[in-house]
Amino acid sequence: MGKVKGFLDYTRAVPEDRPPLERIKDWLEFHEAMPEAELRDQGARCMDCGTPYCHTGFMLSGMTSGCPIHNLIPEWNDYVYNGFWREAYERLMKTNNFPEFTGRVCPAPCEGSCVLGIIEPPVTIKNIECSIIEHAFAQGWVGPQEIAGRTGKKIAVIGSGPAGLSCADQLNKAGHTVTVFERDDRAGGLLMYGIPNMKLDKKAVVQRRIDLMEKEGVSFVLGIEVGRDYPARKLLDDFDAVVLCTGATKPRDLDVPGRKSRGVHFAMDFLRSSTKAVLDGTEPAISAEGKAVVVIGGGDTGTDCVATSIRQGCKSVVQLEIMPEPPLERPSDNPWPEWPRTLKVDYGQEEAAALQGEDPRRYSMMTMKLVADGNGILTGVEVCRVEWVKKEERYVPQPVSGTEEIIPADMVLLAMGFLGPEERLLEELKVEREERTSNIRAEYGDFRTSCTKVFASGDARRGQSLIVWAINEGRAAAREVDRYLMGYTNLP
């Protein structure tokens, strides 16, 4: 597994990013490529650790530990170290339909559970993964696979995000005829419109894979919302099986005075508007240009809002996080192999700091009110600091008296996560949902809903989660659909 004692010979390294003040001028991906010799050195750091937790993929303390799609990480690290790129590519594709996506936007729980990470910085797994698949594309190894034969079974996949794409890809490879329904004008779901272009290039990366799937026989029906433009019950007449991969797209709202002020938007509406404008060469429907922007929410989506606002030419940007600032090192109650709850500076914060002179994040901040003028136009955000106090075995935020202030704002972006799937389609199919979460009720490992021949996978079933869990669920649901239709399955 890599070079014997390679972790002693080489230190962790990641590819250089384009300078923040340079990259904010465009929408191009900001990561640079790492030379092959340096990639081999990084592969050499992979230890012969006996039990590699990097590809275990399980939940630990409510967080993902290891790779949920069980990538054969030590094997392809070894191949990269030895210069066997074709073999590394073949190992990578055994478990992951779309390493060009995960190699760019996955938060890399594999690195959080890397055994080397106990004593040293972990192996740079994510970058090696991305480098393998891009090398394979450059060498011409990635192309449409010939499907041996067709079964005559027709399957509808609703939603073209990572769960829908992986499910469709697997079922197509099994010989079924697959149609993917997507309500947007482009396929990709969250990959296309939920992640900015500078993190995941739409034409060079996402559309490249969509085109490949089409050449292999997958049909994409775009601009059609099942349940509105196409009767949901008609699916049951037209197809032998249906897989719901609609995602958890219902955003969490902010219930405070002034919420209806003009200038308040959900993060996904803002990000979709921006990406569509970039792709279409038009002006965005929602723009941060010249505005004082406040982003409420400290996750990846909030970071994307910060970076997008900067590229649109905002006057200033502040990011509010209700949680306390994480420590620089793992706290005692967050041991390996749990995901490390430590302070990280993502690309958006790095860019804001370079432009404004400081990190845009303000921690332990609660929004009390959105302030508007007499015409209902947003002018500010009233906030206060909070302390987290333990009550009845759980911690709750307690406002700190005297810390109230108003942050000037012309635009507020709500990036506080998602509550579950939208209801229209599920109600028409009469699919049962979980009472507490409103997610589709379907057991993991079986994926069948309460509606005959209808399955569910991804965030619509699981709730808001990681791209690797979506791919895991799409692949697993495909196995069960194949088994349901054929009586057995050979899908991995």
Does the pLDDT value for residue 2 go beyond 90?
Answer: no
The confidence score (pLDDT) of residue 284 equals 97
Token pair in block for residue 489: 């399955």
Closest Cα partner for 475 from 168, 187, 190, 220?
168
* ω into 337 cis (within 30 of 0): yes
Contacts of 321 (CB under 8 A, 6+ apart): 297, 298, 302, 361, 362, 363, 364, 365
Q: What 8-state DSSP symbol labels residue 195?
A: S
Closest Cα partner for 249 from 317, 168, 164, 306?
164
Distance, CA of 419 to CA of 479 (rounded, Å): 27
Does the pLDDT value for residue 34 go beyond 90?
Answer: yes
Token pair in block for residue 284: 């965005």
Beta strand 378-391 with 365-372: parallel, antiparallel or unpaired?
antiparallel
Token pair in block for residue 268: 């996904």
Q: What share of the chain is helix, strand, coil (3-state, %, to 5)?
A: 35, 20, 45
- Grouping H, G, I as helix, E, B as strand and the rest as coil, residue 369 is strand
Distance, CA of 128 to CA of 110 (rounded, Å): 12
Distance, CA of 156 to CA of 164 (rounded, Å): 10
Contacts of 252 (CB under 8 A, 6+ apart): 414, 416, 417, 418, 419
Average pLDDT score over residue span 22-43: 96
Give the percent of the chain with pLDDT over 70. Answer: 100
- Model confidence over 253-277: pLDDT tens digits? 999 999 999 999 999 999 999 999 9
Distance, CA of 469 to CA of 51 (rounded, Å): 22
Question: What is the residue type of 396?
Answer: V
**Confidence label for 48 from pLDDT (cuts 50, 70 and 90):** confident
Distance, CA of 13 to CA of 36 (rounded, Å): 13
The confidence score (pLDDT) of residue 1 equals 63
Show the domains of the chain with their CATH numbers: 6-139 (1.10.1060.10), 154-249+419-486 (3.50.50.60), 253-416 (3.50.50.60)
- Model confidence over 57-109: pLDDT tens digits? 999 999 999 999 999 999 999 999 999 999 999 999 999 999 999 999 999 99
- Model confidence over 323-341: pLDDT tens digits? 999 999 999 999 999 999 9
Contacts of 230 (CB under 8 A, 6+ apart): 181, 224
Q: Are 187 and 193 in contact (CB under 8 A)?
A: no
Q: For residue 182, what are the CA distances in angstroms to 52, 158, 186, 362, 469?
A: 38, 7, 8, 37, 20
Q: For residue 56, what are the CA distances in angstroms to 65, 114, 199, 225?
A: 7, 10, 26, 37
- Model confidence over 187-243: pLDDT tens digits? 999 999 999 999 999 999 999 999 999 999 999 999 999 999 999 989 999 999 999
Does the pLDDT value for residue 4 go beyond 90?
Answer: no
Distance, CA of 15 to CA of 118 (rounded, Å): 22
Does the pLDDT value for residue 407 go beyond 90?
Answer: yes
Distance, CA of 254 to CA of 215 (rounded, Å): 44
Question: What is the residue type of 288?
Answer: A
Reported pTM: 0.95
Q: For residue 96, what are the CA distances in angstroms to 82, 396, 467?
A: 22, 39, 11
What is the average pLDDT value for the chain, to the nearest integer?
96
Does the pLDDT value for residue 3 go beyond 90?
Answer: no
